[in-house]
A and B are shown apart, each in its own frame.
Chain A
Amino acid sequence: MPKDHGIGASQKRREDVRFLTGAGNYTDDINLHGQAYVYFLRSDMAHGKINKVDTEEASQMPGVVRIFTGADFEGIGGLPCGWQVTDKNGDPMKEPAHPVLAQGKVRHVGDPVAAVVADSLEEARTAAEAIELDIEELPAVVDMKAALADGATKVHDDLSDNLCYDWQFGTDTEATDKAFAEAAHVTTLELVNNRLVANPMEPRVAVGDYSRANDESTLYTTSQNPHVIRLLMGAFVLGIPEHKLRVVAPDVGGGFGTKIFHYAEEAFCTFAARQINRPVKWTSSRSEAFMSDAHGRDHVTKIELALDADNNFTAVRTDTYANMGAYLSTFSSSVPTWLHGTLMAGNYKTPAVQVNVKAVFTNTVPVDAYRGAGRPEATFQLERVIDKAARELGVDPIALRRQNFITQFPYETPVAVAYDTGDYEATMAKMEELMDIPGFPERRKASEAKGKLRGLGVNCFIEACGIAPSNLVGQLGARAGLYDAATVRVNATGSISVMVGAHSHGQGHETAFPQVVAEMLGIDESMVDIVHGDTSKIPFGMGTYGSRSIAVCGSAMVRATEKIINKAKKIAAHLLEAAETDIELKDGQFSVAGTDKSVAWGDVTLAAYVPHNYPLEDIEPGLEETAFYDPSNFTYPAGAYACEVELDPETGEVTIEKFVSADDFGNVINPMIVEGQVHGGIAQGIGQALLENCAYDENGQLLSASYMDYAMPRADDLPHMANYTVDHSCQTPCTHNPLGVKGCGEAGAIGSPPTVVNAVIDALQSGGHKVEHIDMPVSPSRVWAAMNG
């Protein structure tokens, strides 16, 4: 019988009560007394020289409090990049200034030129129309290869060119070349990993507040990591010490990576509130979100796979151009390098793996981490080239993968620290079983009888999650630690508040985290609440991204709870007049082993706070413990996915008829929440594969600037639940964290795009169309063009 309590129970999400009844408290719900509103006047040009920003007339408009321009931020820090990547020549990456408001030049459509603060948003917007801009349009660089050509227009005049870094990682060139020279077969594929806009349901919002009485600033913001924002903004941008700066990320309606980063609007609202001594609020419109939220992906790649005569993979080499956009967003530099390169071995024991990445500045919105961040880009190219190789060699794509699986753990690939554990055969077998692979030919026939083509696509993937060991990432260029923290505060009557550094913006931490504490203490989950999102309440944790919350912050919570248990046992031993080593905790009762003497959890917690009968000479009163946890390795969730598509050869339309994911997340705290995470991830992956496309024209104008042109996945784009199986029964627990968990937030978005594209190509091939690749999104128009090309 499934558990209804503790670890492994599919408890319904307690936070949904407030989310589903409109009782959530999102940043836009925060309205402070006397607040003013800011409207950002944004560049409609991709690239231009600012000659003059004349705000004189606009400043006289009704309701205007003050208008800020780049000049107001002279001498104030710019937005920092949190990861230093070293070029293959040993040089640091080029790191251009990123002013809060544009200075000297505008560099992408949406770059903020001026900020009008007024009594109302409409007044601010009207005044912004009266600002006279004299901006001389410059040629824009959009295409990455063109941006690197000799004589290309420079995005940043003070840099030598548009190359941020040229990075190389993995097996050296000599050994890689040798492997390719000796290969029996080499398969090459050139592909694009399409640029995406994250589009969380809640757009970004920032409210800055300032108290002159105590010189304290508060920023309410839609962030996945309030402490990171406090550190970056306080220390690097505005020079506000931590004790005078509070950052609150209340309920946040989806992040998907794009709310990790420190944005200009956050710094602006905090800064402006101090300047005008009034709260300042900004709520992004959806149109602004398209041109100011960091975008995702945007890689152009050539990948080569070498095989020996027995079809063993002998080498992988990739050359990627990674678009940084116009400025370096907070973690942009790490995505195409350490989050991508280290996954290029995939699930396979390929002895030589070399990764080359050129990061390029262009006149486009900055690009940074988006659900999966680097790992989807790695998986997509590797799994696409393996599929192509299987077809060229005439072998079964499942068998080819299986033959090359890593089977011994721990395993160190040429591009990663050691994969600690895994069982790729188990997830592959589970996928085959759930997919009913033997039944595919019949299903294909049925589709063909309707005039449709049917394709089967499979894909294996591995990700590095639980980001990450601080000493390791520090060596790799991270400018932050990546531990997390939790404080377990037991109240006198036994209820518990757990203050965590992780941030929940849809993940269900408020439900899942208490399940762990409840399991450890043997008490009911209803006695445990989670507090997150406010730097004045929680310990210094690094927040939520990279599928790290339960693996890193959950581990900190376990460590803090263990400290609680140790102290509580001392108190119980005193109350029971027994030796501490004889005290056992079970079902919320402390008992003396081998006797019927016991005290309840509540008796012990009360004693801690009413220490009348208490070992004060040995231990302090109270029952509150904090732990910081820094993982010793990444976690390595992995899985095998498959899908079947139907393709209408008349229109090129692709529909997903059946989808199976077999994931290994290690131990699972709340299976329902995990399944929901995978469902959402797969929806986003299918969105990338079939629908989503952030496109610029050659002048740097954003073509997909609204939902009229940017296609988000909708329910009817996904397979019916009856044909959609999400499995996580294969579990090889993580060997190095106390819960044996690996993380599940990004798997679906990593595993699904190549699955879908592999299936589309299989469908086309079955119809006699010699199509080897279609770039995502695999839209009807592109499929038809490929069939008729």
Chain B
Amino acid sequence: MYSFDMVRPTSVADAVSALGQDEAQALGGGQTLIPTLKQRLAMPSVLVSLSGIDELKGVCREDNGDLSIGGGTTHATVAAEAAAHYPGLASLAGGIGDPAVRNRGTIGGSLANNDPSACYPAAALGSGATIVTNTREIAADDYFQGMFTTALEEGEIITSVRFPVPEAAGYAKFEQPASRFALTAVYVAKYADGVRVAVTGASENGVFRWTEAEQALSSNFSPDAVAGLSVPADGMISDLHGTAAYRAHLVGVMTKRAVAAAS
């Protein structure tokens, strides 16, 4: 990697201030950024580590019943501490990467990066979560803007993510054999006012909602409800590990399985 300075502020305010420097970059758990640096594919002048900010960490139930997760909370912590409140989300977090990844990677880091094959974007979009930053609140529907693209402004930090807790939710991930990221994965969440279905890994535009399945599942929350539905292969990712047609097919299969797994 190229040489850089590193700071480890202990408050969001200090982090925001540090990120105001030229070519500064925020460092969450580093699960994407560190390999990128090692490949010399990024050249920040200063890395602002968010790992020393206690106010970014933790899982708590809010008064309105929402589950709020600090942006700096690791996947392993979410898997353990959200289980009693939101088992579908905890289960998704417990299946990201491997133990090393889960003990370093953070929800804020994952959502800020918005890898098209990452798990968390499906949970956030599928839950209709609110992305809370140091300056504002962004609805998940407005937040994800395509592969590796989000509504975040330069220097903006995800301080927490607020998840409305559904009646039931499930996640079904078909893993890409090498990276074990999602080749195609689907998150379904059943709320009183309807079902949300979010698909990750499949589309060239990143995570997306499958509205046709949402409608079908809102009237009948069972795997059979989506049996006849399909998404077009247009716009799906095609690579070494699966064609666009295969991914489109998997969207249907994984949706069915996510519903079956919902709890």
Contact = CB atoms under 8 A, between A and B. Distances in A.
Given A650-B253, A708-B179, A709-B179, A780 B240 contact: no
Interface stretch (B47-55, B121-129, B150-158, B243-251): B243-251
B240 A693 contact: yes
A134 B140 CA distance: 48
A68 interface: no
A780 B174 contact: yes
A178 B112 CA distance: 69
B246 A784 contact: yes
Most chain A Cβ neighbours within 10 Å, of B181, B241, B246: B246
B178 A651 contact: no
B30 interface: no
A526 interface: no
Contacts, number: 50
Nearest to B174: A651
A695 B178 CA distance: 13
A18 to B, nearest CB: 25
A338 interface: no
Interface string A642-664: 00000000111100000000000
A711 interface: yes
Interface residues of A, number: 28
Interface string A687-712: 00011010100000001100111111
B178 A703 contact: no
B19 to A, nearest CB: 26
Contacts of B3: 122
Nearest to A703: B240
A446 interface: no
Contacts of B39: 287
Contact of B253 (A129, A651, A710, A777): A651
Interface string A766-789: 000000000001011100110010
A781 B178 contact: no
A611 to B, nearest CB: 61
Nearest to A713: B177
Contact of B177 (A125, A650, A691): A691
Contact of B178 (A711, A780, A785): A711
A710 B178 contact: yes
Given A691-B177, A709-B178, A780-B174, A125 B40 contact: yes
A784 B243 CA distance: 10
Nearest to B98: A714
Nearest to B246: A781
Interface string B226-262: 0000000000000011110110011001000000000
A650 B39 CA distance: 38
Contacts of B243: 781, 785
Nearest to A652: B246
A709 B242 CA distance: 12
Contacts of A781: 241-243, 246
A711 B177 contact: yes
Contacts of B249: 784, 788
Contacts of B177: 690-691, 711, 777, 779-780
A38 to B, nearest CB: 17
Contact of A707 (B178, B240, B241): B178
Nearest to B40: A125
B249 to A, nearest CB: 7
Nearest to B184: A651
Nearest to B253: A650
A691 B39 CA distance: 25
B174 to A, nearest CB: 6
Contacts of B246: 652, 780-781, 784-785
A777 B178 CA distance: 12
Interface string A424-450: 000000000000000000000000000
A708 B178 contact: yes
Given A651-B174, A779-B177, A709 B240 contact: yes
Nearest to A653: B174
Contacts of A712: 178
Contacts of B2: 126
Contacts of A129: 40
A269 B136 CA distance: 57
Interface string A471-482: 000000000000
A695 to B, nearest CB: 6
A704 B179 CA distance: 11
Given A779-B241, A781-B241, A707 B179 contact: yes
A695 B240 contact: yes
A278 B241 CA distance: 46
Given A691-B178, A785-B245, 4 more contacts: A122-B3, A709-B179, A710-B178, A785-B246
24 contacts: A650-B253, A651-B250, A653-B174, A690-B177, A695-B240, A703-B240, A704-B178, A704-B240, A707-B179, A708-B181, A709-B178, A709-B241, A710-B178, A711-B178, A712-B178, A777-B177, A779-B177, A780-B174, A781-B243, A781-B246, A784-B246, A784-B249, A785-B246, A788-B249
Q: Pick the 5 closest A-B CB pairs, nearest first.
A: A711-B178, A711-B177, A781-B242, A708-B179, A781-B246
